Structure 1
Amino acid sequence: MNGGPGLIAVAHRGGNRMADLRAALASGVDAIEADVHFIHGTLRVRHGAIAVSRHAPTLEEILTTADGGPRLLLDLKGPSLAVADEVAAMLSDRFPDLPVAVCTKQWRMFDAFAEGSPVQRVYTARTSRQLTRLRFLIRRSPVGAASVRQQLLNPDVVDELRAAGVTVLVWPVDSDAALADARRLGADGVIGKNLALLRSLVTEREATSGWR
């Protein structure tokens, strides 16, 4: 995954509801995040505890609607690793050519996706302990991309990650001040819910992002 010129713009939770997904698709962002849960034998997309709602869209509905659009970033949720197996099976069987990335704070979930799979892995670090683990991991094996809570970072750490070949996405970036800080840090991209802010990043770029 390459950042390309300018910052990668990712719509945080942009795929969690059909209306939000359509708005994110229309915005021209580079990627759309969706929170995926395995509930009562079905892969559903929703944020937080209300994910148990049977009114939440299914992952299949989200994937079908997004097909042909920008890359989806599927955030795999829940204590059970089964969600990863189910997502891997659905992508392989039903959507083998759809550009998708997966992120998770439970990195063992990546084992469900076979080596050579077109699915891109994004390592989530939301705590200082997870960031320490990430910095240790990049010394032993390649990490293509990471989603890191912005408050954990400083320019030296971002430089360290990028020097190891990691595309660094920071979150949450929902204001001009947060965006300015992301630029100060040297991040490759931002994840946020402010579509107008994300659209401004798309507009300022002269070339298509490497996520396309």
Structure 2
Amino acid sequence: MRRPLVIAHRAGNHLGTLRSALDRGADLVEADVHAYRGRLEIRHHKTLGPWWLWERGELVLRRRVPQVEELLAAAAGDPRLMLDLKGIHPRLAPRLAAVLSDTTITICTQHWWMLSAFRHLPNVRHVLSAGSRRGLRRLRSRLRRRSPHPPYGVCVHRRLLTPELVTELRQAGQVVFTWPVDTEEALDHARRLDVDGVIGKHVSWSTGVGGPPTPA
């Protein structure tokens, strides 16, 4: 059984864990990007004004939040970054595209219209994400239309996938990622699904440094 790629979930949200995940052999390191008051911030928490961040009942004081320019500098040109665009701020994608230049990077989002901002950047890989049954229906419909700008891959919540669906998505020319994969049981399930990559917290599951596969 082939080893799926290991994507270090949220490890890029802190500069220290970014470097650690890269050094430990993650195939990709995921970070979340929000637009806020003219800045591109690296965080998963949602903002509650200038002082607080919130996520699932957890309220934390906003302290020093890294910005995307700092993340890119810390990665030092390593092509294993995957940025997950959060929210629907209309300036998020254009501002990010403006700072990427010739950076090789993977961009993932559930708001697919944002990806049009990166079409002029040949080194940006586009990944369409779906986390709900409705999103999955839209994804399958979109892939059947054979867009002139096909994405590099898709990322689908693990509870929505079956081996047959993974085969369907791959036959459409897509690299298939799934999340969350945070336990051995979840990893076994992902392997049975035969996905190309797993998004989880355990970089140690990676058996060596690799790169993203080339789409068919």
Tell me the residue number matched to 1:185: 193
State the 1:115 CA deviation.
Answer: 4.1
1:30 — aligned with what?
27
Deviations 1:63-90, CA, capped at 9 Å, x for gaps: 0110243411111112212100110011
* Residue of structure 2 equivalent to 1:111: 116
Instruction: Kindly indicate whether residue 86 of structure 2 is the aligned counterpart of residue 77 of structure 1.
Output: yes
Could you tell me how far 1:22 is from its partner in structure 2?
1.9
TM-score, normalised to structure 1, is: 0.87
Q: CA deviation at 1:211?
A: 5.0
User: Residue 121 of structure 1 corresponds to which residue in structure 2?
Assistant: 126
Classify the secondary structure of the residue corresponding to 2:176. Answer: strand
- CA distance, structure 1, for counterparts of residue 183 and residue 12 of structure 2: 20
- Matched residue, 2:207: 202
Name the SS for the 2:13 alignment partner: coil
1:169 partnered with 2:177? yes
Which residue number in structure 1 is paired with residue 49 of structure 2? none
Structure with more of its chain in helix, by fraction? 1
Q: Find the residue that maps to 1:138 and give its secondary structure.
A: helix
Q: What residue ranges of structure 2 are gaps of 5+ in the alignment? A: 47-52, 55-60
The TM-score with structure 2 as length reference comes to 0.85
Tell me, in whole angstroms, the C-alpha distance in 1 between the residues paired with 2:194 and 2:184: 15
Match of 1:6 in 2: 3
Of the candidates 37, 41, 60, which is equivalent to residue 38 of structure 2? 41
Kindly indicate whether the alpha-carbon contact (under 8 Å) linking 2:175 and 2:213 is maintained by their aligned counterparts in 1. no
Change in Cα spacing, 1:80 to 1:210, as seen in structure 2 (3 Å) is closer
Name the CA distance, whole Å, in 1 between partners of 2:131 and 2:90: 19
Tell me, yes or no, if the aligned pair for 1:145 and 1:168 is still in contact at 8 Å: yes
Partner Cα distance (1:173, 1:40) in 2: 33
**Counterpart residue number, 2:141:** 136
Amino acid at match of 1:158: V
Q: Match of 1:144, as an amino acid?
A: Y
Deviation at 1:11, TM superposition (A): 0.5
1:56 alignment counterpart = 65
State the superposition RMSD in angstroms. Answer: 1.9
Q: Is the CA contact 2:6–2:28 (under 8 Å) kept in the aligned structure 1?
A: yes
Q: Hey, what's the Cα distance between the residues in 1 that align with 2:29 and 2:38?
A: 24
Give the C-alpha shift of residue 54 in structure 1: 5.3
Residue ranges of structure 1 left out of the alignment (5+ in a row): none
Residue correspondence of structure 1 range 91-102 to structure 2 within 5 A:
91-92=100-101, 96=102, 98-102=103-107
* Structure of greater relative contact order (alpha carbons < 8 Å, 6+ residues apart): 1
Q: 1: CA distance between counterparts of 2:151 and 2:36?
A: 30
Query: Following the alignment from structure 1 to structure 2, what is the Cα–Cα distance between the partners of residues 43 and 27?
Result: 27
CA contact (8 A) 2:9 2:29 kept: yes
Aligned length: 198
Looking at secondary structure, tell me which structure has more strand per residue: 2
Q: Give structure 1 regions of 4+ aligned residues with deviation exceeding 4 angstroms.
A: none
Deviation (angstroms), 1:114: 2.4
